[in-house]
């Protein structure tokens, strides 16, 4: 395989499978003590399962990694499940990866992923660092400034495997100033994207080799910056954790064809349910599978089920994965034909959508604000909302008619209701706060106020345009 093809293949894999994570700002001070008991660590979302890229045999032992930041440091923690913990290397910059060892490789500039910095730490706290940036002239190893870290067996002169082994931890604070040569900002600003990978390897019995962002064949090394996952710095409470996967439209299209040819013996066409296998497009558990899980399932089958392994080329498997991911893509992630500008004028004009819905501060208030709707709903759901009545009104939008003992009549939607009080947003766009004792009569509407005749009221083009407009309404992460 020539280098060009190889690179192109890798890129398409990365587009499908690279891991993603939002790094939240730490909400409490972090003591680097090798325990992860600070509230900020407890609140932080795990990065997600590690992938066993080159798995042959043995027990897959998972690693739970978390990241946090503040103005001074990037904080990293690994909690490695491990029944055979061993570490012997004591020499600074020694070959720690023979021992039970965790790593982080960081590329602060997403446009130059080949400039990356490595931190490899074994279970007794010996570290190896390299700087793979083109500008670095310091030799094979590198001395990060001000780094503080702690491993579970820190300071021991060795760690032998023992029957009580369960897990071990490394906790690290890496000063952000170490990355100022490549990072857009030091400290990063909210929204800045870096690329990095977290790894786990080594040990005597049941040696491990896994990474957070999957490294798909033919790549054979952790030093594969193209496979690094993407991380974005966010504020505290900024929705840390796994971000949405953005599907690659070309791969998904190709994957759909392959899927519809080879998978529909059991699964349904286009991701629907089949006679002998589940719907891959449903909002269910399989959709929380990682790309690595899906790859394993297609390549090797699922033990204990009728799902067979497939001999198809890995590249095709990855296209199918892209297709499966596209099935859960929200409207913002897919291409939608139609004229967005015309759709906007239909929304605010003939369509009368804006009489109840607001987008970026313009429009009515009885219905949900749609400013971010394309990031929340699938394209199909947007079309359904315009054409098919929901069986039950959504919470906060249930129509009510209240007759008060005072004689006043209020019609609107119940923002909230329980046994003792009712908060109604009236058709008059005013809030009416009512206790049960004030009510003479109360009627609940069984249908949402949302009209579902858009396809009849609008021309075919107008309908498509308004769908296209809605499908672009997203405060996008990417």
Partner 1 sequence: MKRLLLFCTVAAHAQVSYEHLKNPNPADWLHYSGQYHSQRHSLLKDVNTATVKDLVPAWMYHVPNSRRLECVPIVVDGVMYVTYPNFVYALDARTGRQIWEYQRQPALQKGPNRGVAVYGNKVYFGTPDAHLIALDARTGSELWSTKIAEASDGYWSPGAPLVIKGKVIQGIAPGDHGLNGFLDAYDAETGERLWRWNSIPKPGEFGNDTWAGDSWKTGGGNTWLSGSYDPELNLIYQGIGNPAPDFDGDVRKGDNLYTESMVALDADTGKLKWYFQFTPHDVHDWDAVEIPVLADAPIDGKMRKLLVQANRNGFYYVLDRVTGEFLQGTPFIKNLNWASGLTKEGRPIRVPGVVPSFQGTKTCPATSGATNWMSPAFNPDTGWFYFVAQEGCGINTKSGDTFRPGGFAFMGTGYIESPEEPWQMYVRALDLTTGKLMWEHQQVNSRRYGAGVLSTAGGLIFAGDDQGFLSALEAKSGKVMWYFNTGEQISAQPITFAVRGQQYVAIASGSNVVSFKLHGWP
**Contact footprint for partner 1 (CB under 8 A):** 35, 37, 39, 42, 59-62, 81, 83, 166-167, 273-274, 276-279, 282-286, 302-307, 390-392, 416-420
Smallest gap from residue 238 Cβ to partner 1 (A): 18
CA–chain centroid gap for 54, Å, is 24
d(CA 327, CA 306): 22
Smallest gap from residue 273 Cβ to partner 1 (A): 5
Concatenate the DSSP letters of all residues of 196-226 into one string.
EEEEEEE-STT-EEEESS---TT--SS--GG
Beta bridge partners of 175: 73
Cβ–Cβ < 8 Å for 105, 75: no
Strands 101-107 and 73-81, sheet pairing: unpaired
Beta bridge partners of 409: 403
Measured from the CB atom, the residue of 5 and 303 that comes closer to partner 1 is: 303
**Of residues 240, 222, 223, the one with CA closest to residue 231:** 240
Measured from the CB atom, the residue of 59 and 257 that comes closer to partner 1 is: 59
| CA distance readout (Å), 266 to 16, 31, 324 | 24, 53, 15
Smallest gap from residue 103 Cβ to partner 1 (A): 22
Q: CB within 8 A of 19, min separation 6: which ones?
A: 47, 48, 197, 212, 213, 214, 229, 230, 242, 290
Smallest gap from residue 316 Cβ to partner 1 (A): 22
Measured from the CB atom, the residue of 129 and 387 that comes closer to partner 1 is: 387
Smallest gap from residue 71 Cβ to partner 1 (A): 23
Measured from the CB atom, the residue of 64 and 70 that comes closer to partner 1 is: 64
Smallest gap from residue 58 Cβ to partner 1 (A): 12
At 189 the three-state DSSP class reads coil
Measured from the CB atom, the residue of 416 and 459 that comes closer to partner 1 is: 416
Smallest gap from residue 270 Cβ to partner 1 (A): 15
Measured from the CB atom, the residue of 175 and 241 that comes closer to partner 1 is: 241
Helix (H) or strand (E) holding 128, with range, is: strand 127-131
Smallest gap from residue 184 Cβ to partner 1 (A): 34
Q: CB within 8 A of 303, min separation 6: which ones?
A: none
| CA distance readout (Å), 129 to 143, 189, 281 | 7, 26, 44
Phi, psi of 260 (to 5 degrees): -65, -20
Smallest gap from residue 279 Cβ to partner 1 (A): 7
| CA distance readout (Å), 52 to 207, 209, 215, 310 | 12, 6, 9, 19
Structure tokens at 292: 């690595």
Measured from the CB atom, the residue of 99 and 417 that comes closer to partner 1 is: 417
Measured from the CB atom, the residue of 10 and 85 that comes closer to partner 1 is: 85
* DSSP 8-state code for residue 123: T
Measured from the CB atom, the residue of 311 and 391 that comes closer to partner 1 is: 391
């Amino acid at each position: 395989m020539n280098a060009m093809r190889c690179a192109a293949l890798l890129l398409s894999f990365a587009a499908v499978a690279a891991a993603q994570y939002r790094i939240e700002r730490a909400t409490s001070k972090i003591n680097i003590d090798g325990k992860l008991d600070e509230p900020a660590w407890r609140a932080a979302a795990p990065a997600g399962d590690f992938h066993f890229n080159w798995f042959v045999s043995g027990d897959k032992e998972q690693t739970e990694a978390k990241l946090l930041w503040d103005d001074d440091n990037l904080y990293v923690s690994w909690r490695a499940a491990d029944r055979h913990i061993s570490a012997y290397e004591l020499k600074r910059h020694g070959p720690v990866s023979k021992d039970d060892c965790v790593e982080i490789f960081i590329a602060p500039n997403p446009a130059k992923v080949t400039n990356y910095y490595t931190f490899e730490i074994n279970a007794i706290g010996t570290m190896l660092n390299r700087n793979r940036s083109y500008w670095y002239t310091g030799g094979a190893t590198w001395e990060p400034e001000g780094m503080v870290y702690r491993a579970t067996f820190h300071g021991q002169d060795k760690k032998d495997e023992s029957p009580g082994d369960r897990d071990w931890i490394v906790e690290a604070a890496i000063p952000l100033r170490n990355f100022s040569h490549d990072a857009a900002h030091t400290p990063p600003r909210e929204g800045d994207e870096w690329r990095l990978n977290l790894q786990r390897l080594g040990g005597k019995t049941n040696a491990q080799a896994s990474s957070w962002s999957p490294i798909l064949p033919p790549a054979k090394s952790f030093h594969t910056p193209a496979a690094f996952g993407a991380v974005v710095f966010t504020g505290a409470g900024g929705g840390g954790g796994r971000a949405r996967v953005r599907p690659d439209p070309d791969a998904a299209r190709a994957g759909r064809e392959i899927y519809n040819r080879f998978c529909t013996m059991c699964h349904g066409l286009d991701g629907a349910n089949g006679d002998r296998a589940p719907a891959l497009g449903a909002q269910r558990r399989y959709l929380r599978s990682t790309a690595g899980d899906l790859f394993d399932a297609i390549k090797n089958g699922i033990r204990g089920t009728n799902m067979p392994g497939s001999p198809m080329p890995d590249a095709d498997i990855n296209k199918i994965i892209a297709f499966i991911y596209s099935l859960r893509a929200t409207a913002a992630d897919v291409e939608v034909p139609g004229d967005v500008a015309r759709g906007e004028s239909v929304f605010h004009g003939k369509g009368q959508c804006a009489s109840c819905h607001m987008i970026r501060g313009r429009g009515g208030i009885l219905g949900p604000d749609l400013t971010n709707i394309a990031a929340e709903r699938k394209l199909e759901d947007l079309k359904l909302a315009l054409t098919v009545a929901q069986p039950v009104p959504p919470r906060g939008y249930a129509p009510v008619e209240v007759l008060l003992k005072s004689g006043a009549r209020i019609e609107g939607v119940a923002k909230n209701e329980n046994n003792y009080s009712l908060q109604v947003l009236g058709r008059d766009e005013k809030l009416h706060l009512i206790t049960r004792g004030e009510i003479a009569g109360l009627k609940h509407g069984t249908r949402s106020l949302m009209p579902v005749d858009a396809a009849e009221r609008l021309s075919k083009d107008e309908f498509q345009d308004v769908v296209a407009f809605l499908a672009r309404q997203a405060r996008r992460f990417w």
